[in-house]
Each structure stands twice: as structure tokens, then as C-alpha cells.
Amino acid sequence: MNDSEHFNLQRRRVLMGMGAAGVALAGTALSCPAMAAAPAQVTEAPSSDKTQDHHDFHGVHQSGIVTPRPAAGMLVSFDVLASDRDDLERLFRTLNERIAFLMKGGPVAQIDPKLPPPDSGILGPVVTPDNLTITVSVGESLFDERFGLASVKPKRLVRMVGFPNDALEADSCHGDLSLQFCSNTADTNIHALRDIVKNLPDLLLVRWKQEGSVPPQAPAKPGVPAQSARNFLGFRDGSANPDSNDGKAMDRIVWVQPGSDEPAWAAHGSYQAVRIIRNFVERWDRTPLQEQESIIGRVKTTGAPMGASHETEVPDYSKDPEGKLTKLDAHIRLANPRTAASQANLILRRPFNYSNGVNKNGQLDMGLLFICYQADLEKGFISVQTRLNGEPLEEYLKPVGGGYFFTLPGVTGDKDFIGRSLLAATQSNTTA
């Protein structure tokens, strides 16, 4: 056998031993090995350069409200099992400790393997921050007789009641405390939840949880405004959100201000409204496009208001008093009539899409994990939702769960802890 025949035999053996991907690369691999890159294996972990992204834990406000919304979100509601104020303080201090670590990340402590591991291990031996924020809020029921907090309950914090189109399920509503988890990946949120549950088994009991996601968008081109993500109705969600980078606007819309009629301890906190809104996507997908756009009040492809070209354009309803362009009962027109009076009803939305599988009737169980923040719950979400009662969009959606909570002020330093100002506000009452 000469050298040429030997080479051809070896080449055939190589090609026969490679899969389809290998065959496609064979010519390059044999002719220029230095330029060839082996294809990734099926079980290799996806690559990301965002795992070290992190937010500061300390601040006047909690993170996870005006900070940019990442791809994965989760809202978990808990019943508080604490039996007295000492237990409640231990709960808050432990939450403070765990959240501070989880948001920063770091190596997991090594212990005697005969003991339960201190960490679930799903992120490996070193916890990556992965852009995680955990936002702590408290429900109206925490201010009952258990902990002596009734006298300092936020003025507008109430138990969520059903609106006319609601079909609220008791197991998916309310709670003493809520934690909002936001990060780059769902596993990071689950890891954080399991960490908190593991460290507070005698003080917290999960009441309900809902996971959600945001579809990634391509980077905005220079000079082109960023676009809002789409919800499961196919429309952009949050187009009219106020500018979360405008500090003065956030002070007016989102944050309870010092010197307001709220209890002094609540300054720099916010009201959180949560709604699990199921979408009847099968019915929606069979609805004509022009009817969909008429119901929402926006062009589906661009997100622009009717008659406009860009999502960020502001509709002028004064030029359309009879609703010939944007129907008088269109969703965006009812939610924000853009009058001087309705400026008091602005909210900051932070929604996520959810998909929970299939219902018993074979329909897809998916929709919107709606979360919004405002300084005044009555003027904010409750007023907006009241205007939306009876809108045409109700035919395609059904709220089934959620609750109202008050998001605690931020942790200002190492000597502070989450919930400290709330407990301190009634300290004199309990020691008298």
C-alpha cells in the first residue's frame, strides 16, 4: 500500500467514525486542524458572561423595583409562623443575612459530610450573584394581633378584594410576607428560594408561588429607543411605563416620601400589587388582528399607539374625542386617559410572562405575572383597575390570584436590617 492509499484509508475511517456534525467539519479539520473548533456536547452548560452581574444590597430603597428587569422572575408569598416579636425579629435578621449573601455570591462553607449540606448545590460550590435581587414586602395580615404592629400599619395597605372579572383562587392569594426574586436565570431564583426556606423552616411557610420570564430582546441600535418585551398576547407590555431612571418621577410615583401621611417608618418603601392573570390564548389567537389592536389600542407589530409609528409615541386623546382612532374603551385609553387628573394614578409595572402547563380541559394555562409599585395603592393600581372594569379585553383574561403588600424600606448599612424600622416603630408600645 503506497502513502496515498494509506492516507485515503485513514481519512475514510475518520469520516465513518464521526457524526453528522463531524462530517460537516471533516474537510476543515483535516486540512487545517488549528482552525477547527469541536462542537459543544449536548450536556455542556450554556455559556453566559452575566453570571457575575450583581446589585448592591444596601441602599435607601430595596433593589428589584426600579432596577432593570432581568429574564427570570418569581413571586413567592409566605405565611409567617413566628409566635412573638422576638421570633419576628429573628425572621427579619435571618432574611437580611441570607439576602445579602445571595445577592453578592461567594463560596459555600464546607462542613462535615455527615451533616446536611448548608446549600442545595444547584449553583455549584461557589454561588454566583447572576444579577439577583430579592425584594421583601409585607401583607396586611402581618399587622394583626400577633406582633403588636396594628398601630403602624401602612395607611393604604388592605387585603386584596376581587374585581368583577376576577376568579380568585384562595390558595393563590394574599400572605403575611412576599419575596420577589429577579435574576438572569430561573435556577438562580430557585436556589435563593430554597436557601431561604432551608434557613427559616420554623418561621416561614410557603403559601403560593408563581414563576415568570421575560423574552430577551436584541440590543437596541444606536439612536433607536429600546423596545418593551412582549406578553403572551403578542403585544409589547409596559410601553407607557414611567422612566425608572428619573429620580424625581420615582419619588412622586413609586416611593413613599418622608413627611407624608404614612407612618414615619414607611418612608422610602412602596406599595406592591401582584396579580396572576390567566390569558385565554386559544380564544385570542382566533380573534382578527384588527379587533386585537382595537381592544388594546396599539399596533401589534410595532407597539405604537393607533395612528403612530413608534412604541414611545404618546397618544393625544384630545384630538380623538369620539374614539374614532383609539376606541374609548381601548385598554391603553382606560388605563391611562392622559388627563391632568390621571397623572396621580401612574404606576411602575414590572411584569413577567408565566406558563403553568395545561388545564384539565386541555387549554394552555399561561398569562401574566403582573407586579407593579406605587406610593399610593388607592390612587395607583386600585384606581387604574377600577377604570378597566368591563373593558373588552376581559373576554380574554381572568385574574386568579395575587395580593397587596407593602415593600419595606431599604437597608442602609451593616448596622441596619430589613424590617428594622417597622419593629422600632412599635418598640415603645411593647416595652411599656
Q: What is the pLDDT of residues 274-298, one digit of tens each?
A: 999 999 999 999 999 999 999 999 9
- Identify the pLDDT of residue 427: 82
**pLDDT: which is higher, 22 or 105:** 105
Which pLDDT tens digit goes with each residue over 142-159? 999 999 999 999 999 999
- Identify the pLDDT of residue 22: 43
- Identify the pLDDT of residue 16: 44
- Identify the pLDDT of residue 123: 96
Three-class SS of the chain: CCHHHHHHHHHHHHHHHCCHHHHHHHHHHHHCHHHCCCCCCCCCCCCCCCCCCCCCCECCCCCCCCCCCCCEEEEEEEEECCCCHHHHHHHHHHHHHHHHHHHHCEECCCCCCCCCCCCCCCCCCEECCCCCEEEEEEEHHHHCCCCCCHHHCCCCCCCCCCCCCCCCCHHHECCCEEEEEEECCHHHHHHHHHHHHHHCCCCEEEEEEEEEECCCCCCCCCCCCCCCCECCCCCECCCCCCCCCCHHHHHHHCCCCCCCCCCHHHCCCEEEEEEEEEECHHHHHCCCHHHHHHHHCECCCCCCECCCCCCCCCCCHHHCCCCCCCCCCCHHHHHCCCCCHHHHHCCEECCEEEEEEECCCCCEEEEEEEEEEECCCHHHHHHHHHHHCCCHHHHHEEEEEEEEEEECCCECCCCCCCCHHHHHHCHHHHHC
Say whether pTM exceeds 0.85: yes
